[in-house]
Structure 1
Protein backbone atom coordinates (compact mmCIF):
# COMPACT_ATOMS: atom_id res chain seq x y z
CA UNK A 1 0.00 0.00 0.00
CA UNK A 2 1.26 3.47 -0.73
CA UNK A 3 0.59 6.51 1.39
CA UNK A 4 1.79 10.09 1.04
CA UNK A 5 4.15 11.07 3.83
CA UNK A 6 5.17 14.58 2.81
CA UNK A 7 3.62 16.93 0.29
CA UNK A 8 4.91 19.78 -1.82
CA UNK A 9 8.64 19.32 -1.55
CA UNK A 10 11.29 20.27 -4.06
CA UNK A 11 13.32 17.70 -5.99
CA UNK A 12 16.32 18.53 -3.81
CA UNK A 13 14.29 17.98 -0.63
CA UNK A 14 13.00 14.68 -2.02
CA UNK A 15 16.51 13.33 -2.60
CA UNK A 16 17.56 14.46 0.87
CA UNK A 17 14.61 12.52 2.32
CA UNK A 18 15.35 9.50 0.11
CA UNK A 19 19.00 9.32 1.18
CA UNK A 20 17.99 9.28 4.86
CA UNK A 21 14.91 7.04 4.57
CA UNK A 22 14.78 3.36 5.44
CA UNK A 23 11.84 2.93 3.01
CA UNK A 24 11.52 3.50 -0.70
CA UNK A 25 10.13 6.90 -1.50
CA UNK A 26 8.78 7.98 -4.87
CA UNK A 27 8.49 11.56 -6.05
CA UNK A 28 5.30 12.55 -7.82
CA UNK A 29 5.73 16.16 -8.88
CA UNK A 30 6.08 17.66 -5.41
CA UNK A 31 4.53 14.85 -3.39
CA UNK A 32 6.59 12.15 -1.73
CA UNK A 33 4.98 8.73 -1.52
CA UNK A 34 6.25 5.91 0.72
CA UNK A 35 6.18 2.47 -0.88
CA UNK A 36 5.00 -0.21 1.52
CA UNK A 37 6.26 -3.78 1.49
CA UNK A 38 4.62 -6.25 -0.89
CA UNK A 39 2.70 -9.49 -0.29
CA UNK A 40 4.40 -12.86 -0.70
CA UNK A 41 2.92 -13.67 -4.16
CA UNK A 42 4.23 -10.32 -5.45
CA UNK A 43 7.71 -11.04 -4.09
CA UNK A 44 7.79 -14.59 -5.47
CA UNK A 45 6.71 -13.39 -8.92
CA UNK A 46 9.38 -10.67 -8.86
CA UNK A 47 12.06 -13.22 -7.91
CA UNK A 48 10.87 -15.67 -10.56
CA UNK A 49 10.89 -12.98 -13.25
CA UNK A 50 14.38 -11.81 -12.32
CA UNK A 51 15.69 -15.40 -12.43
CA UNK A 52 14.02 -16.22 -15.76
CA UNK A 53 14.92 -12.94 -17.46
CA UNK A 54 18.50 -13.00 -16.20
CA UNK A 55 18.88 -16.56 -17.46
CA UNK A 56 17.54 -15.53 -20.88
CA UNK A 57 19.59 -12.33 -21.17
CA UNK A 58 22.82 -13.25 -19.39
CA UNK A 59 24.91 -13.66 -22.56
CA UNK A 60 24.00 -10.32 -24.16
CA UNK A 61 24.29 -6.68 -23.14
CA UNK A 62 20.92 -6.43 -21.38
CA UNK A 63 20.66 -5.69 -17.67
CA UNK A 64 17.75 -6.84 -15.50
CA UNK A 65 17.33 -4.41 -12.62
CA UNK A 66 15.20 -4.94 -9.52
CA UNK A 67 12.91 -2.56 -7.67
CA UNK A 68 15.82 -0.69 -6.08
CA UNK A 69 16.56 1.08 -9.39
CA UNK A 70 15.18 4.62 -9.40
CA UNK A 71 13.82 5.75 -12.79
CA UNK A 72 13.28 9.36 -13.86
CA UNK A 73 10.01 10.20 -15.64
CA UNK A 74 11.10 13.58 -16.97
CA UNK A 75 7.86 14.65 -18.66
CA UNK A 76 5.83 13.89 -15.54
CA UNK A 77 8.28 15.30 -12.96
CA UNK A 78 8.41 11.93 -11.20
CA UNK A 79 10.99 9.53 -9.81
CA UNK A 80 9.71 5.98 -9.36
CA UNK A 81 10.84 2.47 -8.44
CA UNK A 82 9.33 0.02 -10.99
CA UNK A 83 9.27 -3.62 -9.92
CA UNK A 84 11.70 -4.59 -12.71
CA UNK A 85 13.47 -2.73 -15.49
CA UNK A 86 15.37 -4.07 -18.49
CA UNK A 87 17.88 -1.95 -20.36
CA UNK A 88 19.88 -3.34 -23.30
CA UNK A 89 21.64 -0.22 -24.55
CA UNK A 90 24.33 1.35 -22.40
CA UNK A 91 22.47 2.54 -19.29
CA UNK A 92 22.18 6.30 -19.06
CA UNK A 93 22.54 7.18 -15.39
CA UNK A 94 22.24 10.62 -13.94
CA UNK A 95 23.63 11.23 -10.50
CA UNK A 96 21.11 13.10 -8.41
CA UNK A 97 22.30 14.13 -5.00
CA UNK A 98 24.57 11.08 -4.77
CA UNK A 99 22.09 8.53 -6.17
CA UNK A 100 22.08 6.90 -9.61
CA UNK A 101 18.89 7.50 -11.58
CA UNK A 102 18.18 5.52 -14.77
CA UNK A 103 17.08 7.69 -17.68
CA UNK A 104 16.69 5.09 -20.49
CA UNK A 105 14.66 2.05 -19.40
CA UNK A 106 13.54 -0.11 -22.33
CA UNK A 107 11.16 -2.59 -20.70
CA UNK A 108 9.32 -1.78 -17.49
CA UNK A 109 7.55 -4.48 -15.50
CA UNK A 110 5.05 -3.79 -12.74
CA UNK A 111 3.50 -6.53 -10.61
CA UNK A 112 -0.06 -5.59 -9.81
CA UNK A 113 -1.49 -5.37 -6.31
CA UNK A 114 -4.77 -4.00 -5.00
CA UNK A 115 -3.12 -0.79 -3.82
CA UNK A 116 -1.09 -0.09 -6.98
CA UNK A 117 -3.06 -1.50 -9.91
CA UNK A 118 -5.02 1.63 -10.79
CA UNK A 119 -1.93 3.86 -10.70
CA UNK A 120 0.15 1.28 -12.64
CA UNK A 121 -2.51 1.05 -15.37
CA UNK A 122 -3.17 4.77 -15.72
CA UNK A 123 -0.88 7.40 -14.24
CA UNK A 124 2.39 5.46 -14.44
CA UNK A 125 1.65 4.00 -17.88
CA UNK A 126 0.87 7.49 -19.21
CA UNK A 127 4.28 8.63 -17.97
CA UNK A 128 6.20 5.55 -19.14
CA UNK A 129 4.83 6.04 -22.66
CA UNK A 130 6.54 9.45 -22.78
CA UNK A 131 10.01 7.94 -22.35
CA UNK A 132 11.37 7.45 -25.87
CA UNK A 133 13.49 4.43 -24.90
CA UNK A 134 10.56 2.44 -23.47
CA UNK A 135 9.30 -0.10 -25.98
CA UNK A 136 7.45 -2.51 -23.70
CA UNK A 137 5.34 -2.18 -20.57
CA UNK A 138 4.44 -5.38 -18.77
CA UNK A 139 1.75 -5.81 -16.12
CA UNK A 140 1.86 -9.07 -14.17
CA UNK A 141 -1.14 -10.10 -12.08
CA UNK A 142 -0.41 -11.34 -8.56
CA UNK A 143 -3.83 -12.91 -7.84
CA UNK A 144 -4.11 -15.08 -10.95
CA UNK A 145 -2.01 -16.19 -13.91
CA UNK A 146 -2.20 -13.30 -16.33
CA UNK A 147 0.48 -11.18 -18.00
CA UNK A 148 -0.28 -8.14 -20.16
CA UNK A 149 2.46 -6.95 -22.50
CA UNK A 150 2.06 -3.57 -24.18
CA UNK A 151 4.44 -3.06 -27.10
CA UNK A 152 5.19 0.23 -28.84
CA UNK A 153 4.87 0.09 -32.64
CA UNK A 154 6.87 2.11 -35.15
CA UNK A 155 3.79 4.35 -35.46
CA UNK A 156 4.09 5.06 -31.69
CA UNK A 157 0.95 3.09 -30.91
CA UNK A 158 0.72 0.61 -28.07
CA UNK A 159 -0.51 -2.91 -28.84
CA UNK A 160 -1.62 -5.22 -26.04
CA UNK A 161 -0.99 -8.95 -25.94
CA UNK A 162 -2.79 -10.76 -23.11
CA UNK A 163 -1.21 -13.96 -21.86
CA UNK A 164 -3.75 -16.09 -19.98
CA UNK A 165 -3.47 -19.26 -17.84
CA UNK A 166 -3.86 -21.53 -20.88
CA UNK A 167 -0.83 -19.89 -22.54
CA UNK A 168 2.29 -21.91 -21.84
CA UNK A 169 4.74 -19.13 -22.71
CA UNK A 170 5.01 -15.36 -22.36
CA UNK A 171 7.20 -13.18 -24.58
CA UNK A 172 8.92 -10.26 -22.87
CA UNK A 173 11.42 -8.48 -25.09
CA UNK A 174 13.52 -11.14 -26.82
CA UNK A 175 12.76 -13.70 -24.08
CA UNK A 176 10.19 -16.46 -24.15
CA UNK A 177 9.36 -17.37 -20.56
CA UNK A 178 7.26 -20.24 -19.28
CA UNK A 179 4.06 -19.06 -17.57
CA UNK A 180 4.66 -21.76 -14.94
CA UNK A 181 8.12 -20.35 -14.23
CA UNK A 182 6.73 -16.83 -13.69
CA UNK A 183 4.24 -18.20 -11.15
CA UNK A 184 6.44 -20.94 -9.68
CA UNK A 185 5.58 -21.63 -6.01
CA UNK A 186 2.82 -18.99 -5.99
CA UNK A 187 -0.31 -20.29 -4.24
CA UNK A 188 -3.19 -17.90 -4.92
CA UNK A 189 -5.45 -19.54 -2.31
CA UNK A 190 -3.34 -19.72 0.84
CA UNK A 191 -0.84 -16.96 0.00
CA UNK A 192 1.97 -19.29 1.13
CA UNK A 193 4.56 -20.83 -1.18
CA UNK A 194 3.32 -23.90 -3.01
CA UNK A 195 5.47 -27.01 -2.54
Structure 2
Protein backbone atom coordinates (compact mmCIF):
# COMPACT_ATOMS: atom_id res chain seq x y z
CA UNK A 1 0.00 0.00 0.00
CA UNK A 2 1.42 3.37 -1.00
CA UNK A 3 1.40 6.55 1.05
CA UNK A 4 -1.42 8.83 -0.20
CA UNK A 5 -0.29 12.39 -0.90
CA UNK A 6 -2.32 15.21 0.67
CA UNK A 7 -4.99 12.75 1.79
CA UNK A 8 -6.20 12.76 5.38
CA UNK A 9 -5.49 9.50 7.19
CA UNK A 10 -6.61 8.09 10.48
CA UNK A 11 -3.90 6.71 12.72
CA UNK A 12 -4.96 3.16 11.82
CA UNK A 13 -4.82 3.96 8.10
CA UNK A 14 -1.40 5.56 8.57
CA UNK A 15 0.09 2.48 10.21
CA UNK A 16 -1.41 0.28 7.52
CA UNK A 17 0.02 2.53 4.79
CA UNK A 18 3.57 2.55 6.17
CA UNK A 19 3.65 -1.20 6.82
CA UNK A 20 6.38 -2.53 4.56
CA UNK A 21 7.20 0.92 3.22
CA UNK A 22 10.87 1.62 2.57
CA UNK A 23 10.62 5.29 3.53
CA UNK A 24 10.06 6.81 6.96
CA UNK A 25 7.03 8.98 7.65
CA UNK A 26 5.31 10.93 10.41
CA UNK A 27 1.62 11.73 10.57
CA UNK A 28 0.87 15.39 11.26
CA UNK A 29 -2.73 16.53 11.36
CA UNK A 30 -3.75 13.46 9.39
CA UNK A 31 -1.20 14.06 6.60
CA UNK A 32 1.77 11.70 6.16
CA UNK A 33 5.08 13.49 5.65
CA UNK A 34 8.36 11.84 4.64
CA UNK A 35 11.18 12.11 7.18
CA UNK A 36 14.66 13.06 6.01
CA UNK A 37 17.39 10.48 6.38
CA UNK A 38 19.55 10.85 9.49
CA UNK A 39 23.28 11.56 9.41
CA UNK A 40 25.79 9.40 11.25
CA UNK A 41 26.11 11.87 14.12
CA UNK A 42 22.37 11.70 14.76
CA UNK A 43 22.43 7.90 14.83
CA UNK A 44 25.48 7.71 17.09
CA UNK A 45 23.92 10.11 19.60
CA UNK A 46 20.69 8.09 19.68
CA UNK A 47 22.69 4.89 20.21
CA UNK A 48 24.76 6.46 23.00
CA UNK A 49 21.68 7.77 24.81
CA UNK A 50 19.84 4.48 24.45
CA UNK A 51 22.83 2.56 25.79
CA UNK A 52 23.01 4.87 28.82
CA UNK A 53 19.26 4.70 29.55
CA UNK A 54 18.60 0.96 29.12
CA UNK A 55 20.00 -0.33 32.47
CA UNK A 56 18.33 2.39 34.54
CA UNK A 57 15.09 1.95 32.62
CA UNK A 58 15.00 -1.77 33.35
CA UNK A 59 15.34 -1.05 37.07
CA UNK A 60 12.21 1.11 36.82
CA UNK A 61 10.29 -1.35 34.66
CA UNK A 62 10.66 0.88 31.60
CA UNK A 63 11.82 0.13 28.06
CA UNK A 64 14.19 2.37 26.13
CA UNK A 65 13.66 2.19 22.41
CA UNK A 66 15.01 3.85 19.30
CA UNK A 67 13.42 5.94 16.56
CA UNK A 68 11.10 3.14 15.42
CA UNK A 69 8.82 3.66 18.45
CA UNK A 70 5.92 5.99 17.73
CA UNK A 71 4.52 8.57 20.13
CA UNK A 72 0.95 9.77 19.58
CA UNK A 73 0.89 13.49 20.30
CA UNK A 74 -2.63 14.19 19.07
CA UNK A 75 -5.77 12.53 17.68
CA UNK A 76 -4.25 12.46 14.19
CA UNK A 77 -0.53 13.02 14.82
CA UNK A 78 2.24 10.43 15.20
CA UNK A 79 5.86 11.33 15.89
CA UNK A 80 9.02 9.23 15.93
CA UNK A 81 11.51 10.70 18.44
CA UNK A 82 15.16 9.68 18.42
CA UNK A 83 14.80 7.82 21.73
CA UNK A 84 11.72 7.01 23.82
CA UNK A 85 11.58 5.73 27.40
CA UNK A 86 8.23 3.93 27.71
CA UNK A 87 7.14 3.13 31.27
CA UNK A 88 3.73 1.68 30.44
CA UNK A 89 2.70 -1.99 30.43
CA UNK A 90 4.77 -4.05 27.96
CA UNK A 91 3.01 -4.95 24.71
CA UNK A 92 5.09 -6.64 22.04
CA UNK A 93 2.66 -5.78 19.23
CA UNK A 94 1.93 -2.14 20.19
CA UNK A 95 2.53 0.44 17.47
CA UNK A 96 2.89 3.36 19.89
CA UNK A 97 4.49 3.89 23.31
CA UNK A 98 1.80 3.36 25.96
CA UNK A 99 3.35 5.67 28.57
CA UNK A 100 6.21 7.72 27.06
CA UNK A 101 8.04 9.30 29.99
CA UNK A 102 11.29 10.64 28.49
CA UNK A 103 11.50 11.90 24.91
CA UNK A 104 14.84 12.56 23.21
CA UNK A 105 15.03 14.54 19.98
CA UNK A 106 18.31 15.01 18.13
CA UNK A 107 18.32 18.24 16.11
CA UNK A 108 20.36 19.44 13.17
CA UNK A 109 20.58 23.01 11.83
CA UNK A 110 17.79 22.19 9.37
CA UNK A 111 15.35 20.84 11.96
CA UNK A 112 16.17 22.81 15.13
CA UNK A 113 13.60 25.58 14.62
CA UNK A 114 10.76 23.10 14.25
CA UNK A 115 12.03 20.72 16.96
CA UNK A 116 12.28 23.58 19.46
CA UNK A 117 8.83 24.94 18.59
CA UNK A 118 5.80 22.98 17.43
CA UNK A 119 7.18 19.52 18.11
CA UNK A 120 8.27 20.44 21.65
CA UNK A 121 4.79 21.75 22.43
CA UNK A 122 3.28 18.51 21.14
CA UNK A 123 5.45 16.40 23.45
CA UNK A 124 4.68 18.67 26.39
CA UNK A 125 0.99 18.08 25.70
CA UNK A 126 1.32 14.33 26.27
CA UNK A 127 0.20 13.72 29.85
CA UNK A 128 2.76 11.01 30.69
CA UNK A 129 5.81 12.87 29.36
CA UNK A 130 7.96 14.18 32.21
CA UNK A 131 11.17 15.12 30.39
CA UNK A 132 12.02 16.23 26.86
CA UNK A 133 15.70 16.32 25.90
CA UNK A 134 16.74 18.25 22.81
CA UNK A 135 20.27 17.41 21.66
CA UNK A 136 22.15 19.31 18.97
CA UNK A 137 24.01 16.96 16.64
CA UNK A 138 26.74 19.32 15.36
CA UNK A 139 27.60 21.36 18.48
CA UNK A 140 27.78 20.40 22.15
CA UNK A 141 24.42 21.65 23.38
CA UNK A 142 21.60 19.92 25.26
CA UNK A 143 18.35 21.50 26.42
CA UNK A 144 16.28 19.66 29.02
CA UNK A 145 12.61 20.49 29.56
CA UNK A 146 11.01 19.15 32.76
CA UNK A 147 7.37 19.02 33.81
CA UNK A 148 6.86 20.42 37.32
CA UNK A 149 4.27 19.18 39.83
CA UNK A 150 2.04 22.17 39.07
CA UNK A 151 2.06 21.30 35.36
CA UNK A 152 4.42 24.07 34.23
CA UNK A 153 7.67 23.37 32.39
CA UNK A 154 11.22 24.47 33.13
CA UNK A 155 14.19 24.54 30.76
CA UNK A 156 17.88 23.96 31.46
CA UNK A 157 20.79 24.26 29.04
CA UNK A 158 23.89 22.07 29.34
CA UNK A 159 27.10 22.76 27.43
CA UNK A 160 29.86 21.41 29.72
CA UNK A 161 30.97 17.89 28.87
CA UNK A 162 31.50 16.61 32.41
CA UNK A 163 28.37 18.05 34.07
CA UNK A 164 25.74 15.47 35.02
CA UNK A 165 22.22 15.91 33.68
CA UNK A 166 19.89 14.44 36.31
CA UNK A 167 17.00 12.26 35.15
CA UNK A 168 14.78 11.65 38.19
CA UNK A 169 12.33 9.48 36.21
CA UNK A 170 15.05 6.86 35.85
CA UNK A 171 16.95 7.69 39.06
CA UNK A 172 20.07 8.23 36.95
CA UNK A 173 21.97 10.91 35.05
CA UNK A 174 23.90 11.38 31.83
CA UNK A 175 26.72 13.67 30.71
CA UNK A 176 27.59 15.24 27.38
CA UNK A 177 30.67 13.00 27.38
CA UNK A 178 28.33 10.00 27.18
CA UNK A 179 25.95 11.62 24.72
CA UNK A 180 28.67 12.61 22.23
CA UNK A 181 30.97 9.63 22.83
CA UNK A 182 33.12 8.85 19.71
CA UNK A 183 31.98 12.08 17.99
CA UNK A 184 34.19 15.11 17.43
CA UNK A 185 31.66 17.73 18.55
CA UNK A 186 32.84 21.16 19.66
CA UNK A 187 31.27 23.61 22.12
CA UNK A 188 29.11 26.39 20.77
CA UNK A 189 31.31 29.26 19.51
CA UNK A 190 31.42 32.22 21.86
CA UNK A 191 31.99 35.86 21.03
CA UNK A 192 35.48 37.04 21.88
CA UNK A 193 35.48 40.70 22.90
CA UNK A 194 38.83 42.41 22.48
CA UNK A 195 39.34 45.53 24.58
CA UNK A 196 42.16 47.98 24.13
CA UNK A 197 43.80 49.84 26.98
CA UNK A 198 44.86 52.61 24.61
CA UNK A 199 42.92 55.84 24.61
CA UNK A 200 42.91 58.43 21.92
CA UNK A 201 44.63 61.72 22.70
TM over 0.5: yes
Measure the CA separation in 2 of the matches of 1:46 and 1:82. 10
Measure the CA separation in 2 of the matches of 1:166 and 1:51. 18
Task: For structure 2, list consecutive stretches of 5 or more residues without a partner in the other structure.
Answer: 187-201
**SS of residue in 2 equivalent to 1:127:** helix
Question: Relative to 1, partners in 2 of residues 1:5 and 1:41: Cα closer, same or farther, differing over 3 Å?
Answer: farther
Q: Would you tell me which structure has more strand in proportion to its own residues?
A: 1
Match of 1:105 in 2: 100
Match of 2:190 in 1: none
Q: Does 1:30 align with 2:30?
A: yes
Counterpart contact for 1:104–1:131, Cα < 8 Å = no
- Per-residue deviation, 1:154: 1.1
Moved more, 176-185 or 6-15: 6-15
Counterpart contact for 1:94–1:103, Cα < 8 Å = no
- Residue number among 127, 130, 135 corresponding to 1:140 in the alignment: 135
Match of 1:18 in 2: 18
Counterpart contact for 2:162–2:176, Cα < 8 Å = yes
Q: Does 1:177 align with 2:174?
A: yes
Counterpart contact for 1:94–1:101, Cα < 8 Å = no
Measure the CA separation in 2 of the matches of 1:121 and 1:15. 26
Cα RMSD (Å) of the superposition?
Answer: 2.3
Query: 1:114-153 to 2 correspondence within 5 Å?
Result: 114-153=109-148
Match of 1:87 in 2: 86
Counterpart contact for 2:89–2:98, Cα < 8 Å = no
The count of corresponding residues between Structure 1 and Structure 2 is 181
Task: For structure 1, list consecutive stretches of 5 or more residues without a partner in the other structure.
Answer: 190-195
Counterpart contact for 2:131–2:147, Cα < 8 Å = yes
Question: Relative to 1, partners in 2 of residues 1:159 and 1:108: Cα closer, same or farther, differing over 3 Å?
Answer: same
Question: Relative to 1, partners in 2 of residues 1:94 and 1:101: Cα closer, same or farther, differing over 3 Å?
Answer: farther
- Per-residue deviation, 1:70: 1.2
Measure the CA separation in 2 of the matches of 1:28 and 1:113. 20
Identify which of structures 1 and 2 has the higher relative contact order when contacts are C-alpha pairs closer than 8 Å and 6+ apart.
1
Q: Which has the larger radius of gyration?
A: 2
Measure the CA separation in 1 of the matches of 2:35 and 2:65. 18
Output one character per residue of 1:24-60: Cα deviation in whole Å (capped at 9) or x when no partner: 2111112211112211111111111111111333333
Measure the CA separation in 2 of the matches of 1:168 and 1:17. 44
- Per-residue deviation, 1:88: 2.4
- Per-residue deviation, 1:9: 2.5
